[in-house]
Structure 1
Amino acid sequence: MRKLTAILFSILILACCADQSFANAVQKYRVAVSDLVISPGVPEKQASIVRNSSLIADIENAIRNGRKFELLTRRGAAMQAIRQEQEFAKSGLAAADAAAEGQMSNAQSLVQVEVTQFSFGRSSSRVPNTEKYRVSDYCRIELSVQIIDTSRGSVSASFPIKASTTSGTAMANRIGSASSAVLDQTLEKAAGTLANMLSDTVFPIQVLTVKGKRLWVNRGNDSGLHVGDVFDIFEPGEELVDPQTGESLGSTETEVGKARVVRINPKVTIVEMTDGDPSYIQPGFILRAPVPAK
């Protein structure tokens, strides 16, 4: 009986180790979003609106909903609350099994967001010969985003983001204030674009398999893709290294075709080639959105 118990105990230990190894193997890439930075060029009234808005929360939600990253908080208020809880956990008031080491996981990439342009308000005009007004709400925002590799302290990517929303013209008895719905829609657009570009920076869209003119890529229905979206297809090449710093600058890429999204599944997306030779495409080739013409 003792021998059987020892065997069962050994099996349990091995199972626990296997579960821990599996958990470590599937650990997600860790990112954090820093506190919002607002450019001095943004007027103070507008700066106050965006400073007190849900922008950072929207960005965090968009990153979290993508399910590709482990999201860590770096917001000042949250960090202070975490520290207070850790101090409590180490105190004699907490249960013995609640002790904390007081350390937090480090982010592998830090997302820094600066608002460079922002405007939110209501335009109006008096309707001739009446006491009414034509009103229309608007919101526009421009962001400068940097993705910082925390292990090296270098900027791994930087890109601008623009988003805007306008309401239809309506009749009103008074001018009033702009609707917060226009603000919310604009911030959600900007946050969604940022989350997608972050994902494309860390995990570019790659071909998984090829069947005729159709390619299966590593994006699902939570990626922000839409049927009809068009992408350029690139063959990855040799890594480029700065000879002075030794820093990796990415790799050479050769454009080999174009494809259009035809179907979006929960975990993968199917695109169909509209230009190029499908027989040349291999798993690992990269899809990127076309660069807009200036």
Structure 2
Amino acid sequence: MHRRTVTGIILASFLAFAAASVAQAQTATKPRLAVQSITATPAVMARAAGDGSGVKNVLEQILQAADSDLVDSLHKSGRFEVVAAGDIQSVLAAQDVQNSGLYDTSDPQTAHAFKLAGFKYIATVTVTSFQLIDRAAVIPDAMGNSTYTYETIQLGATLKIYDVTRGTVLDTASVTSEYQEETRKIEGSVQEGSFSNRMIGLAARDFAADATRIILDSLAPAKVIGFNNGTIFFNRGVSTGLKVGDIYEVRDPGTVMIDPETGAALGSTSDIIGWATVSSIAPKYSEAAAIELFRAPNIGHTIMRPAATLPPHLDASARAHGPFAPPARHASPSPAPPPAARSAPTPNDATASRDSVVAVFVANTAPDVPSDRVAVFDAQLRSTLSANGIRVVSRQEVLNAVSSLAADGTNAGTDDSDETRAQRMLSDQSSAVALAKQLGATAILSATINSLVVDVTTTPSLDRTVADYTLSASWTLLNGSDGISVDGGLADANERFRTSPEHKRIEINAVDRLLRNDATQIGKAVLQASASGRLTPSKSIATHREVRIETVLENMTVPEIKQVDGTWTVSANTYPLTASDAMVSVDGMLVGSTPGPIAVSEGTHRLVITHPLCVTVDRYVKVGDLMGSLRIPMTLSASGRDQWERRSQFFESLKNGAVLRATEMEKAAALAEFMKNSSITIDTSNVQNIGIGQPSLWVEAID
């Protein structure tokens, strides 16, 4: 007598089913699944040990046999690349032997350390209940007193499936299995062997088949692969837990359901289009007889879902008959196209990039990367670009340009290194254009070493320590003509190697290899951007306009003081003031002083004006073909205003028509001398008759 009961509680969504199937079809790559060794809880093991060594031994045999059967069944299903996680020690030992120096490492079949294939899913099976029941009875029969033995194995387990990439539980299921056999020993007969050993093998096999079926239904649901006159063909074969007579719902997937609060996909709707029962099991596929069908299944899309029972109105012996309606078309979301990957440069790319001239700026903000390793990064970048036909401005020429241009603007008053000042200049669009013009560069490549992450992991069970180095660099490619970013991104390089548990010192050789790897990635991306034609030569400064720049002191005036009948008399008129000889920088380059004229090319430029007594003006101006002059207001700085107020307080007591006494004349002369030395002059742009007819104190004292 043989009785087996399986109860599966699967908490997966149909969205996960559909996503796994679509991904597998698109990439033609099987999902990789790791299977942990089947174990029993400590409480189950303790109880088995308490029931006697024989019971514990039976449990251990079942665990070991079911473990092997589960890996074998999943492998034979053809739906996964199976990783036997329980055999990792044997795999690592084989790798160590092949990397001992005795094997040819250039042989493509030689194993290499730290190259184990990763896996997306992992399945664990834990036995939570176990009971071994052994009963015997002597019953008189026609052959005498025969001994009847009743042996029962009861198992209960929890199966969990994890998405390792996200660390989440994807599915859980409970499995209960009972296997029972009855044997008869005739009085006086001799029997060799043990029926219990046979039962152990059968119980382990069926237990593994049940687990296989649950895993397959969760990660790779059965799909219809063919249909012919009421017979459904689907992609399940032997060793997948199927048995003739199993009942299946036939379902067409529908639309995705989204949680309105979290935005998470909760699953998908599905339509039951019928029921079927398994009629035949082949090595690679199975057949199911349709009991009832509302329409023909959609090959490649319709799902076969296990069902415990049929609806009350159906009989398992019934058969559906055609003709069947064509499959309904459901609006299923199209998978998002994969992100466009940068294609490898073609031979024509190198030709297209020969007109490109790139200036390379490298910085290091990673505290764990020694500053002297920047040269390794810089050299690899230049080598990669040069080898592919791009002309590269020499490092020394680049640094010389930074030194000549970086004294003003964003770097004014700093004592930073040339590399740091260059990065600050490149963050400003107009300064970047000025650098490109100075160097005659088509583009500017700014690359920064961002971080070095070192993880040291010691696994006592494997008796090994592994250092994992990850070096990240960011890069931006600026167009030399306008300073606008053309391309950019991140480059990551990773290397792992065995080390000691006390690993603390940074391995410079490993860092250099990672720097070269990142530089090569960036260089290839720049090559592709150059070949795309998105880089344009910087505009020449030769096409310029002569612009007069007048700096007017905002809300600053002096009263008119003129000579009347031999005395200096205060008038009701006032004169505005200007700050002359202010230093003017355009796009980071010092080009002259006010009032000019200054040669500036047409277009938008960054204008920086500095004066010892004033707040620095830093603004953008647009120079057009009709522009001849530019009036820029300036205000006194706190220090400048203090100096001015201390020298001009005597104005407050002077009224129109007042005659300056000797002491006031001295103060006025001192103020005029201060204005002359500070390059503060009278704004005569709107004054027509200053100093005409009657001498002016300010004209005589300042000029």
Q: TM-score range by the shorter chain?
A: 0.7 to 0.9
> Residues 47, 243 of structure 1: CA spacing in aligned structure 2 closer, same or farther, 3 A cutoff?
farther
Q: Secondary structure at the match of 1:92?
A: coil
CA distance in 1, matches of 2:220, 2:57: 34
CA–CA separation in structure 1 for the residues paired with 2:295 and 2:58: 50
Of residues 184-193 and 282-291 in structure 1, the stretch that sits farther from structure 2 once superposed is 282-291
| Map of 2:76 onto structure 1 | 65
Q: Distance in 2 between matches of 1:266 and 1:231?
A: 19
Rounded to whole Å, the distance in 1 between the matches of 2:35 and 2:111 is: 27
Contact 1:62 1:195 in 2 (8 A): yes
Larger RCO (CA within 8 A; separation ≥ 6): 1
What does residue 455 of structure 2 align with? none
The residue type paired with residue 236 of structure 1 is P
Cα offset for 1:282? 2.5
Partner of 2:118: 106
Structure 1 30/125 Cα, relative in aligned 2: closer, same or farther at 3 Å? Answer: same
For structure 2, the residue ranges without an aligned partner over 5 or more in a row are 1-25, 50-54, 311-703
Give yes or no for contact 2:175–2:211 (8 Å, CA) kept in 1: yes
Q: Using a 3 Å threshold, how does the CA distance of structure 1 residues 158 and 85 change in structure 2: closer, same or farther?
A: same
- Note the aligned Cα RMSD (angstroms): 3.2
Secondary structure of the structure 2 residue equivalent to 1:168: strand
C-alpha spacing 1:242/1:193, structure 2 compared with 1 (3 Å): same
> Residue 250 of structure 1: which of 249, 254, 267 is its match?
267
Equivalent residues of 2:73, 2:240 under 8 A apart: no
Measure, in 2, the Cα distance between the counterparts of 1:240 and 1:257: 23
Q: Distance in 2 between matches of 1:35 and 1:220?
A: 24
Equivalent residues in 2 for 1:144-293, closer than 5 Å: 144-171=158-185, 179-221=196-238, 223-243=240-260, 246-279=263-296, 281-283=297-299, 284-291=301-308
Over residues 36-62 of structure 1, what are the superposed CA-to-partner deviations in whole Å (9 max), with x where a residue is unaligned? 332244213245542353221121122
**By how many angstroms is 1:126 displaced?**
5.4
**1:185-233 deviations in Å (ceiling 9; x for gaps):** 1110010111122112122122234444333322345544344432111
1:121 is displaced (CA, Å) by 4.5
Q: TM-score, normalised by structure 2?
A: 0.34
Q: Which moved more, 1:227-236 or 1:148-157?
A: 227-236
Measured after TM superposition, the shift of residue 137 of structure 1 is: 1.9
Query: Residues 106-139 of structure 1: CA distance to partner in whole angstroms, max 9, x if unpaired?
Result: 12211100101112252124569x9985422221
Paired residue for 1:123? 135
Compared CA separation, residues 226 and 184, structure 1 to 2 (3 A): closer
Moved more, 239-248 or 192-201: 239-248
Cα 1:247–1:124, aligned 2, differ >3 Å: closer, same or farther? Answer: farther
Query: Counterpart amino acid of 1:111?
Result: A
Looking at structure 2, the residues matched to 48 and 56 of structure 1 have their Cα atoms a distance apart, in angstroms, of 15
Shift of 1:65: 2.1
Is residue 48 of structure 2 the alignment partner of residue 34 of structure 1?
Answer: no
Q: Is 1:59–1:192's contact at 8 Å kept on the other side of the alignment? A: yes
The range that moved more, 87-96 or 283-292, is 87-96
Tell me the TM-score normalized by structure 1.
Answer: 0.76
Counterpart CA distance in 2 for 1:72 and 1:193 is 19
> Structure 1 segments of 4 or more deviating over 6 A?
none
Give the Cα separation in 2 of the matches to 1:143 and 1:136: 23
Contact 2:209 2:239 (8 Å CA) reproduced: no
What code does the residue aligned with 1:193 have? D
Taking a change above 3 Å as real, the CA distance of residues 263 and 243 of structure 1, as seen in their structure-2 partners, is same
Deviates more, 1:247-256 or 1:115-124: 247-256
**1-structure distance, mates of 2:139, 2:280:** 48
Q: Which amino acid aligns with 1:58?
A: D
1:138-160 Cα deviation digits (max 9, x unpaired): 21211110111111122221112
Is the contact made by 1:37 and 1:113 (CA closer than 8 Å) also made in structure 2? yes
Task: Identify which range, 156-165 or 144-153, moves more after superposition.
Answer: 156-165
- Provide closer, same or farther for how the CA distance between residues 87 and 167 of structure 1 changes in structure 2, counting only shifts above 3 A: same
Contact 1:149–1:156 (8 Å) recurs in 2: yes
- The residue matched to 2:203 in structure 1 has which SS? helix
Indicate which of 134, 156, 161 corresponds to 1:142. Answer: 156
The answer to whether the 8 A contact 2:157-2:176 is kept is yes
Q: Distance in 2 between matches of 1:115 and 1:272?
A: 35
Higher Rg of the two aligned structures = 2
**Residues 38 and 47, structure 1, Cα contact 8 Å, conserved in 2:** no
Task: Please report how far the alpha carbon of residue 257 of structure 1 lies from its aligned counterpart in structure 2 after TM superposition.
Answer: 1.5
Check the 8 A contact 1:240/1:252 in 2, yes or no: yes
Question: Whole-Å Cα distance in 1 between the matches of residues 176 and 98 of structure 2?
Answer: 43
* Count of paired positions: 265
- Would the alpha carbon gap of residues 51 and 168 (structure 1) be closer, same or farther in structure 2, given more than 3 Å must change? closer
Aligned to 1:44: 48
